[in-house]
Amino acid sequence: MLLKDYFPNAGQMFSQLKMFAGSYGLEVSEVTTMPNTNKMLQLGEYAKDVGKSEAFEKIVFKAVFVEDRNISTMDEIISLCEKAGITKEEVDSVLSSDKYKEKLEDNKRFCRENNITSVPTFIINDQVAIVGAQGPDSFKKAFSQVK
């Protein structure tokens, strides 16, 4: 689905994101589609389990936010996973199992129980939540509060 149909203010959101990211030397393009991310989220959980999370996250971030690629197609999923060191056989195994579907359901349940409705949300020591893209000062303040 087109992102502007899902988020009517997407253009404004990406203008702000581009400006914020640019101030940190990061490249961001305007995303045009809203892909179904369920399979990639399952594979992201798997990547955490096998120590490939950092590479996986960087590759998927670039695919979505820099290259505006549709990460919901199997060709894209396999291509991106292989770049992160996850084989097609691993992809097939993960997606044919319920293990990572259950992890996603656990994550959703945690968010509902803790009233988390925005991404990103950072919870520090189960005491302070930082919601949305925030600068370093917000984190310093939160760390001081839980110190």
Q: Which residue has tokens 């997407």? A: 10
The mean pLDDT of 20-46, rounded to a whole number, is 90
Q: Which residue has tokens 């996850």? A: 86
| 37 pLDDT higher than 80 | yes
Q: Domain locations in the chain? A: 3-116, 117-147
| 133 pLDDT higher than 80 | no
pTM: 0.80
- pLDDT confidence tier of residue 52, bands split at 50, 70 and 90: very high
pLDDT for 115: 87
pLDDT for 14: 78
Rounded Cα gap, residues 32 and 64, in angstroms: 10
pLDDT for 134: 81
The mean pLDDT of 141-145, rounded to a whole number, is 92
pLDDT in tens, 58-90: 999 999 989 999 999 999 999 999 999 999 999
pLDDT in tens, 102-114: 999 999 999 999 8
pLDDT for 118: 86
| 10 pLDDT higher than 80 | no
Burial of 110 (0-12, 13-18, 19+ CB in 10 A): exposed
Q: What fold characterizes domain 3-116?
A: Glutaredoxin (3.40.30)
| 28 pLDDT higher than 80 | yes
Percent of the chain scoring above 90 in pLDDT: 56
Structure letter (DSSP) for residue 33: B
**Contact indicator for 47, 53 with CB cutoff of 8 Å:** yes
pLDDT for 45: 97
Helix axes 74-83, 53-61, angle to 10 degrees: 130
